[in-house]
Copies of this chain bind each other. A is one copy, B any other.
Amino acid sequence: MSRVEVDEKIRRFTVMCRKTGLRLTPQRIEIYKHLVKTDEHPSAEILYEKVKKTFPNISFDTVNRTLLTLNEIGAAFIVEGSGDVRRFDGSMEKHQHFKCVKCKRIIDFHHKPFDIIKLPASIGKKFKILKKVVYVEGICDLCK
């Protein structure tokens, strides 16, 4: 993602923050910037290490709390998976994930039919649906 694109995302992020009453702290923007510019679906720990380069005194809790906040306001989300370290995604484009069970890499792909899967009516009626996910697990090209 180009510098210009990242800047544009940050601009839109600042608007989201103002709308939701969140303060625009330099830490928050820095965390968002690192999350949105990568497609590696980093953990809080990984982002903590990156943000430390600009904010040597930032605490892990601030990074983690901020990421949960981003998830709350819909600026990012927690990646689905089976019981590993929590991973975050700053891309709100419709897409799906492949996760390697060995190296834990999470790789984006987009298959349009997966965006519009229809649930049986019985489920839709009984529950309030927030998220429908198609998720693929296996061994990646580098590991096999």
Q: Does A139 contact B (CB under 8 A)?
A: yes
Closest B residue to A123 by CB, please name it: B109
A78-110 interface code vs B (CB 8 A; 1 in, 0 out):
111111001000000000001011000001010
Closest B residue to A101 by CB, please name it: B130
Comparing A16-24, A26-34, A111-119, the segment that makes contact with chain B is A111-119
Docked complex: A38-97 residues within 8 A CB-CB of B: 78-83, 86
Q: Does A137 contact B (CB under 8 A)?
A: yes
Residue in contact with A109 in the complex, picked from B111, B122, B134, CB distance below 8 Å: B122
A123: chain B residues within 8 A (beta carbon): 98, 109, 111, 136
Closest B residue to A71 by CB, please name it: B82
A128: chain B residues within 8 A (beta carbon): 138-139, 144
Q: Is the CB of A127 within 8 A of B139?
A: yes
Closest B residue to A88 by CB, please name it: B83
A126: chain B residues within 8 A (beta carbon): 140-141
Interface residues of A (CB under 8 A from B): 78-83, 86, 98, 100-101, 107, 109, 111, 114, 117, 119-120, 122-123, 126-141, 144
Q: Can you list 13 contacts pairing A with B, beta carbon distance less than 8 Å?
A: A78-B82, A79-B82, A82-B86, A109-B122, A126-B141, A127-B138, A128-B138, A131-B138, A132-B135, A133-B134, A133-B136, A133-B137, A134-B134
